[in-house]
Structure 1
Amino acid sequence: MDEALLRYRWPLAALLVIAGLGLANAPLRPEVWWVSALAILVFSTPVIVGAVRWLGPRGGIGLLVALGLYALVVESVAVATGLPYGRFSYSQVLGPPLLGLAPPTVLLAWTPLILGALAMTRRAWVAVVLLVAVDLVLDPAAVLLGFWSWDEPGIYYGVPLINFFGWVLSGGIAVLALRRLPRPVPGLFARNLWLVLVFWSSVNLWSGQWLPAAVGLVMLIVLAPRYRRVP
């Protein structure tokens, strides 16, 4: 799979730009939530394969389950209490929320981001900064598409600033907890993250959300050399 991402980088990127155009012009409806679940699974597949190859079946699956449950718990607490991301709620677009809190798709959605950030750099603080930068691109698009919304919309395309401080906290805890993982982290994770950025940047671009689109473009340019260089 890693060889495929390396060999077909630009065709894959082109397909994701087209997919972003389609989603920007025809947002998903709650009754077809399985489409968004399938898309999350597709984006997560390289990470699932990479984790098993990296740590073995037991270790890889254990890592994915642990990160998925961590993300689900943090998101559920945030919906219930407003901490650490601010008080917000999920729509039905990502699937029926468990206990009215976070949908089960969260189990896979966040993991490619944190592992991709760790694969891009060996420095913990840089990985956290990169993770927050990814959210600067992802959250505005997700809010526009109706995936989730805040009770009190913020100044950044409906996203409050507390959300990004929350990502520093949750991302920082995860990065510190993952310090004992074998190094280097597979480059497959980094390549997958770059393609995720292509998709969300294109959604913002086609939707006319110029600032997050510009942030995404800058990140894609800065991280492009890492696409091939990360082993």
Structure 2
Amino acid sequence: MTSVAATRLRLPRLAAVPLLLAVLLVLTAIAYPLTDGAARDAVSWTIVVLGSTLSVVHAGLARRARTALGLLVLVAVTAVAFEAFGLSTGIPYGRYTYSDALGPTLLGVPFLVPLAWLMMAWPSWVLAERLARPVRPHRRGTVRVLAAAGVFAAWDVVLDPQMVQAGYWTWAHPAPGLPGIDTVPLTNLAGWLLAGVVLMALLDLLVTRTSVPDAPRVGPAAPLLALGWMTLGGALAHAGWLGLPGSAAWGAGLAGVVLLVLFLQERRARASSR
């Protein structure tokens, strides 16, 4: 049996690993609004570690080990570079400071932050890859990068108010912000869009150059489950338990747009196959 054939036989079994990580992530995220203090800090760390591990594992199974390693290095370097520069200059996010609750740092950036980027980046790219499929081939790459950057930034619209409420970081000038969100400035959203475009352009290039010919070898269910729960589930937690109705509304609205696009794509695909 060739190594390629052996790998294909192992993949159905290995595909359960990302799904298991995604389920553990969902269960841990459910615990977040039900805890406080040190217990909530532990839950936050666990969510990020599970999410970042899910991203690397799924990237390796869906594409190849080189893609997973490249994803890890690329996101870590990009995250530290943007965050360290942002802390020093206030560009592109605005002025902010991290609390000591996030633990050890590198260049002033807590280790948890690049892991959070990793948790968010791969599912954003996976969803964007799906959204861009109906686009003409010569435009698909550009649409994929822009869609991934948009999803990446939209995820933070839900996440950032929650982290400010938990005391993990503080904005020097939180106004003006999105309607209903008075703790996070619009400059942060602009910064995430810029960082997202840079990161997703590099990530798209990485995937293109490292993927195996028959990729993806496993489906997108695990990262999409993580992304869906962290946005829609996060919105539910914000509305019901965390007292953050503004970010809840934004999260539900942005997720609703994506779900509508996916529904229309699926409907069009079914109609064209008849």
TM-score by length of 1: 0.80
Residue 213 of structure 1 and its aligned partner are, at CA, apart by: 0.9
What amino acid is the match of 1:176? A
Q: Report the counterpart of residue 127 of structure 1 in structure 2.
A: 148
Q: Select 1:192's aligned residue among 216, 226, 229.
A: 226
For 1:73-152, list aligned pairs within 5 A: 73-99=81-107, 101-121=108-128, 122=132, 123=143, 124-152=145-173
Correspondences of 1:186-225 after superposition (within 5 Å): 187=220, 188-205=222-239, 206-223=241-258
Where has structure 1 moved over 6 Å in runs of 4 or more?
4-12
Quick one: structure 1 residues 192 and 141, their matched pair in 2 at CA, closer, same or farther if it must change by over 3 Å? same
Query: Higher mean Cα deviation, 148-157 or 75-84?
Result: 148-157
Superposition deviation, residue 9 in structure 1: 8.1
Q: Which has the higher contact order (CA 8 A, sep 6+)?
A: 1
Q: 1:135 to 1:44 in 2, by over 3 A?
A: same
Deviations 1:156-187 (A, max 9, x none): 33111111111111101112222332477661
- In structure 1, runs of 5+ residues without a counterpart are none
The CA RMSD over aligned residues, in Å, is 3.2
Give 1:37 deviation, angstroms: 2.9
Superposed displacement of residue 38, structure 1: 3.0
Q: Percent identity?
A: 29
Q: Please report how far the alpha carbon of residue 55 of structure 1 lies from its aligned counterpart in structure 2 after TM superposition.
A: 3.6
Q: Does 1:170 align with 2:170?
A: no
What's the CA shift for 1:41?
0.6
Of 25, 38, 46, the match for 2:54: 46
Aligned residues: 222
Question: 1:18 maps to which residue?
Answer: 30
Q: Could you tell me whether the CA contact under 8 Å between 1:137 and 1:201 is conserved in 2?
A: yes
Q: Which has the larger radius of gyration?
A: 2
Match of 1:59 in 2: 67
Q: Which runs of 5+ in 2 are unaligned?
A: 1-13, 133-142, 267-274
